[in-house]
Amino acid sequence: MRPQSSLFRPPLTLLALLIGLVGAMASLTIAHGANNGANNGANNGANNGIGATNSLSDKMGDKDLSAYATAIFAGGCFWCVEADFEKLDGVVEAVSGYSGGDLENPTYDQVSHTNSGHLEVAIIYYDPSVVSYRQLVNYFFHHIDPYDNRGQFCDKGPSYKTAVFVANDKERAIAKAVKTALEDQQGKDFYTPIRDRKTFWPAEDYHQDYYKKNPRRYGSYRAGCGRDARIRRIWGKH
């Protein structure tokens, strides 16, 4: 599991919890109304199916990504999926988040510690004139362990399972074709399912670009989790 110590997340004291609960109760009605307004605006915008639960001010700034195509992948720890895809030519942005479940406005704690139905995912904004959806799916499979049905690498649990989320029949056909070709090549079936795309909910700001903001901690986590070593054993050097 990803470390839950204060090295990665701010410690919560009993006093802080009590203050937080009082504040949350006092502002429940206001927050609920604000979230509903933000979500309606996001879901009726250019990128339908993207919730606006968390601020992405640090991640996105003034970027306008409405002209780009999107794809959603679940590959275990979203820090790593985001980092891997942002190295690929044609990908203009990758955003960590949650998808696959029905819970609206999910938080990291809800996804990690309750039966929310959500997986950790990344939404990939890409330029189809540079990189195709087929190439994205192929790249995704080469950066996960498709034989692990309990999670990914050192992270185990429902939220760390893998999936390719498809938006339409064309994407489904492409994803199936890529998956089948790789299964034939490897001589073994994959656990990774191809699922219908659902609303994407951005993760909290502190998760975005974690590999850039905290390179030493991220590097230690990734190495300790054995992600790259396992990928090399499955796929070889790439």
Structural domain spans, the chain: 16-45, 50-235
Dist CA 69 CA 109 (whole Å): 29
In SS3 terms, 70-111 reads as EEEEEECCHHHHHHHHCCCCCEEEEEEEEECCCCCCCCHHHH
Question: For position 71, what pLDDT does the model report?
Answer: 98
Q: What is the pLDDT of residues 81-108, one digit of tens each?
A: 999 999 999 999 999 999 999 999 999 9
23: confidence class by pLDDT, cuts 50, 70, 90: very low
Question: For position 199, what pLDDT does the model report?
Answer: 97
Tell me the average pLDDT across 107-120.
Answer: 96
Maximum distance among all Cα pairs of the chain, rounded to whole angstroms: 58
Beta bridge partners of 119: 99
Question: For position 51, what pLDDT does the model report?
Answer: 80
Q: What is the pLDDT of residues 184-215, one digit of tens each?
A: 999 999 999 999 999 999 999 999 999 999 99
Question: For position 25, what pLDDT does the model report?
Answer: 36
Q: In what order do the strands lie in the sheet with 194-196?
A: 194-196, 162-166, 69-75, 119-126, 91-99, 201-202
Q: What is the pLDDT of residues 39-84, one digit of tens each?
A: 333 333 334 588 865 656 567 667 889 999 999 999 999 999 999 9
Tell me the average pLDDT across 129-144.
Answer: 98
Q: Per the residue annotation, which of 77, 80, 154, 225 is the catalytic one?
A: 77
Whether pLDDT at 31 is above 50: no
Question: For position 179, what pLDDT does the model report?
Answer: 98
Whether pLDDT at 119 is above 50: yes
CA atoms within 13 A on the CB side of 200: 26
Identify whether 77 is a catalytic site residue: yes
pTM recorded for the entire structure: 0.79
Question: For position 102, what pLDDT does the model report?
Answer: 95
Question: For position 13, what pLDDT does the model report?
Answer: 36
Question: For position 63, what pLDDT does the model report?
Answer: 81
Q: 137: buried, middle or exposed (CB in 10 Å: 19+, 13-18, 0-12)? A: buried
Q: Which two tokens stand for residue 146?
A: 């498709």
Question: For position 6, what pLDDT does the model report?
Answer: 34
What topology does CATH give the domain 50-235? Peptide Methionine Sulfoxide Reductase; Chain A (3.30.1060)
The dihedrals phi and psi of 130, each to the nearest 5 degrees, come to -110, -45
